[in-house]
Structure 1
Amino acid sequence: MSSDSPVLKPRQATILELAQKKGFVSIDELTQTFNVTQQTIRRDINELCESGQLRRYHGGASPSSTVENKDYATRQILCLEEKRRIARAVAQVIPDHASLLINIGTTNEEVAKALCQHKGLHVITNNLNVASIMSSNPGFEVVIAGGIVRPRDRGIIGEATIEFIRQFKVDFGIIGISGIDEDGQLLDFDYREVQVARAIIDNARQVFLVADHTKFGRNAMVRLCHMSRIHALFTDKQPPTAISTILAESGGALYIAPAGS
């Protein structure tokens, strides 16, 4: 720690350590861990955010970075139940015998699992995990995009991937995102992944964005597109007013997966 860095209280140091280890810590969890009030935890998180060490989200905080995403193993377990609820909400809207483009992301992988009971889906994906999940249904046609396989999450990216996706026009494009700015910009960390997501948006009749509440207000350095390009947002909590307003003004639908669904 440099001489200019603020001196952390022991509890704040532990909060920061937990956030770095888990990728996200909730206010409720920290309240129970330290046996203090929510107001005390919020004050600690606010101070850590003001010093640039954490970034505040609805219900908690994560380590602050606009350059590097959390590792894949962390993202798999972060907000897992919320992602499963979102996935079930998406599955209720997708009809049998639909055609889909599905991109990289742990929420998309939960969507793939939730869709496995459908009939006759035609799926094009640049996510080897999605392909593996959905190919377990013999009634599905699953097509894998060509390109460079990214070892950390088995996503496929590159110019060959983009050109392959441009050959199709599907009913639904299902995309994930790393952050949603309050001005409506969808943000991510890898410009190559973003280029593939743009191709999916351009070649889907309807675009569904799947994003849990930790993505609201989260920063990343690569811009995908504006939320006005999205036909529906599937999430687990009410978005901030600015984001809800942008979605409504652009005619996008909002699906909030209820707890216990």
Structure 2
Amino acid sequence: MSQSFRQPDILEIARAEGKVMVEDLALRFNVTVQTIRRDLTELANAGKLERVHGGAILPSGVSNILYEERRRLNEAAKTAIGRACAAAIPEATSLFLDIGTTTEAVAQALLDHRDLMVVTNNMNVARTLLANPDCEIVLAGGALRRSDNGLVGHLTARAIENFKFDHAILGCSALGEDGDMLDFDIQEVVVGQTLLKRSREVMLVADHSKFQRSAPVRIGSIRDVDHVFTDAPLPAALADACTTWGTHVHVSPPGN
């Protein structure tokens, strides 16, 4: 297979799985590891992938990948995370659901819950929850970000200050090795920072690709989070830190 045919397929695998490994690709395409390394180097030079030890990941930077690509990325993992998080949320409760494709998976898993009041700045979440007749939906108004139907900015943060939620379900674009939750949009970060102060229990939902990415703006630390729902074990040092901080980590691999 020539590189011109192989490289689009490599990109599609990276978008679906978050990361590609040299040896796995060599087996998949029946070529040498040297050939795959050249492919990854060319894709990295073109800004389409970022090289890491043993493979490559989707590029980090100061802007997020497109919303539809994020929605497809690790879709099965997000479904598993969403179900695990929803199972930890009792009925007859109030909660906030943040912007993000993983929080949308939580919303989908909440359709059978009863007597909920959900506040959200995610219009996709609100649209999903319309299918649950026993869920009161409140939109936290703000500036509409057309790229993902999110409501962001100080107006949204101000609306959130009127509540004290039983649970807040947060997403992030990246999770640093030191436990910092990171994002790309300052307007979105101010919402997350307000939620940390206005919620009795905070739950972070993040698939394993967030461990491999970087973003420039800090939301806060997972030491301020009660539960982390993910699909793969955290890096060892971060897992140890969570134990020290009292942050409970729940790992739900896809298919389990």
Per the alignment, do residues 50 and 19 of structure 1 end up closer, same or farther by CA in structure 2, a change over 3 Å counting? closer
1:19 and 2:11 correspond = yes
The 3 A distance-change label for structure 1 pair 98 and 32 is farther
> How far apart are residue 135 of structure 1 and its match?
2.2
Q: Secondary structure at the match of 1:149?
A: strand
Q: Do the aligned residues in 2 keep the contact of 1:57 with 1:216 (CA within 8 Å)? A: no
Question: Relative to 1, partners in 2 of residues 1:57 and 1:208: Cα closer, same or farther, differing over 3 Å?
Answer: farther
Q: 2:244 aligns with which of 233, 242, 249?
A: 249
Describe the superposition over 1:29-84 as per-residue Cα deviations: whole angstroms up to 9, x where unpaired: 734541247x6688568867997953367996433232111100101111000000
- 1:199 Cα deviation from its structure 2 partner: 1.1
Alpha carbons of structure 1 residues 171 and 21: separation in structure 2 relative to 1, 3 Å: same
Q: Which residue does the alignment assign to 1:156?
A: 151
Partner Cα separation in structure 2 for residue 196 and residue 87 of structure 1? 21
Q: For the Cα contact (< 8 Å) 1:45–1:56, is it kept in 2?
A: no
Q: Normalization by structure 2: what TM-score?
A: 0.87
RMSD: 2.9
| Same amino acid, percent of matched pairs | 38
One-letter amino acid matched to 2:203: F
- 1:217 offset after TM fit, Å? 3.5
The separation in 2 between residues aligned to 1:46 and 1:234, in whole angstroms, is 31
Between stretches 28-37 and 233-242, larger displacement belongs to 28-37
Q: Is 1:195–2:190 an aligned residue pair?
A: yes
Shift of 1:177: 0.6
Structure 1 Cα separation of the partners of residues 171 and 202 of structure 2: 11
How far residue 248 of structure 1 moved from its aligned partner, in angstroms, is: 1.2
Does the 8 Å CA contact 2:169/2:202 hold for their aligned counterparts? Answer: yes
Residue 247 of structure 2 aligns with an amino acid whose one-letter code is G
Deviation at 1:194, TM superposition (A): 0.6
Deviates more, 1:15-24 or 1:209-218: 15-24
Aligned to 1:4: none
Note closer, same or farther for the CA distance 1:69–1:260 as it changes in structure 2 (3 Å cut): same
Matched residue SS, 1:216: helix
SS in 2 for 1:162: helix
State the partner residue of 1:5: none
SS in 2 for 1:87: helix
How many angstroms does 1:136 deviate by? 1.8
Residue 153 of structure 1: SS of its match in structure 2? coil
Q: For residue 113 of structure 2, what is the amino acid of its counterpart?
A: H
Unpaired segments ≥5 residues, structure 2: none
Relative to structure 1, is the Cα distance of residues 248 and 59 closer, same or farther in structure 2, using a 3 angstrom cutoff?
A: farther
Cα contact 2:64–2:184 (8 A) shared by 1: yes
Please point out which of 200, 216, 225 is paired with 2:220.
225
**Alignment TM-score, normalising by the size of structure 1:** 0.85
Contact 1:56 / 1:62 at 8 angstroms: preserved in 2?
yes
Which stretch shows the higher mean deviation, 209-218 or 46-55?
46-55
